[in-house]
Amino acid sequence: MTGHVVPSEGARELFGEALPVAQRYADLLADAGVQRGLIGPREVPRLWERHLMNCAVIEELLPKGADVVDIGSGAGLPGLVLGILRPDLSVTLLEPLLRRTVFLQECVDLLNLENVTVRRGRAEEVKKVVRADFVTARAVAPLPRLAGWALPLLRKGGSLLALKGEQAEAELEAARADLSKQRPCVADVIWVGRGKVDPATTVVRVTVTTETDQATPSRSQRAADGRKKRGRKR
Ligand SMILES: C[S@@+](CC[C@H](N)C(=O)[O-])C[C@H]1O[C@@H](n2cnc3c(N)ncnc32)[C@H](O)[C@@H]1O
Across all residues in the chain, what is the average pLDDT? 90
SS3 category, 113: coil
Does ligand 1 lie within 6 Å of residue 148's CB atom? no
In angstroms, what is the span from residue 202 Cα to ligand 1's centroid? 18
Would you say 124 is a known binding-site residue?
yes
Cβ–Cβ contacts within 10 Å for residue 207, how many?
A: 18
The C-alpha torsion from 204 through 207 and 213 to 215, rounded to 10°, is: -70
Note down the domain range covering 180.
62-233
For residue range 143-195, what is the model confidence (pLDDT) as tens digits? Answer: 999 999 999 999 999 999 999 999 999 999 999 999 989 999 999 999 999 99
Indicate the burial class of 190 (C-beta count within 10 angstroms; 0-12, 13-18, 19 or more): middle
Kindly state whether residue 107 falls inside one of the protein's structural domains: yes
Q: Which of 140, 149, 161, 202 to mutate to test the pocket of ligand 1 (most atoms within 8 A of CB)?
A: 140
Query: Which residue, among 129, 124, 216, has the nearest Cα to 137 in the 3D structure?
Result: 124
Cα 123 to Cα 125: distance, rounded to the nearest angstrom:
5
pTM: 0.90
CATH number of the domain to which 107 belongs: 3.40.50.150
- Give the pLDDT of residue 212: 73
- 6 CA to centre of ligand 1 in angstroms: 27
Instruction: Classify the C-alpha dihedral 26-5-2-37 as positive or negative.
Output: positive
Q: What is the pLDDT of residues 192-233, one digit of tens each?
A: 999 999 999 999 999 999 887 544 444 444 454 445 444 444
| % of the chain residues with pLDDT over 70 | 89
User: Does residue 2 fall inside a structural domain?
Assistant: no
Binding site annotation covers 123? yes
Distance 94 CA to ligand 1 centre (A): 9
- Does the beta carbon of 123 lie inside 6 Å of ligand 1? yes
pLDDT for the residue 163:
98
ipTM computed for the complex: 0.99
Measured from the CA of 124, which atom of ligand 1 is nearest? 19
25 belongs to a structural domain: no
> What are the tens digits of pLDDT across the range 9-20?
999 999 999 999
Alpha-carbon gap, residue 184 to 151, rounded angstroms: 9
Residue 35 lies inside a defined structural domain of this protein: no
Query: What is residue 213's predicted lDDT score, i.e. its pLDDT?
Result: 59
Rg (CA), the chain: 19
Within a domain: 28: no
**Rounded Cα–Cα distance for residues 189 and 229 (Å):** 37
H helices present in the chain, as ranges: 9-15, 19-28, 34-35, 54-56, 79-85, 98-110, 143-150, 168-182, 219-233
Say if CB 44 and CB 5 are below 8 A apart: yes
DSSP structure class, residue 96:
-
DSSP 154-206: EEEEEEEEEEE-TTHHHHHHHHHHHHHHHS-EEEEEEEE-TTTSSSPEEEEEE
CB of 190 within 6 A of ligand 1: the answer is no
Query: 115 or 129: which carries more pLDDT confidence?
Result: 115
Number of domains in the chain: 1
Does some domain include residue 126? yes
Q: Exposed, middle or buried by CB within 10 Å (0-12, 13-18, 19+), for 136?
A: buried
In a domain, 168, yes or no: yes
Ligand 1 centre to CA of 123 (Å) is 10
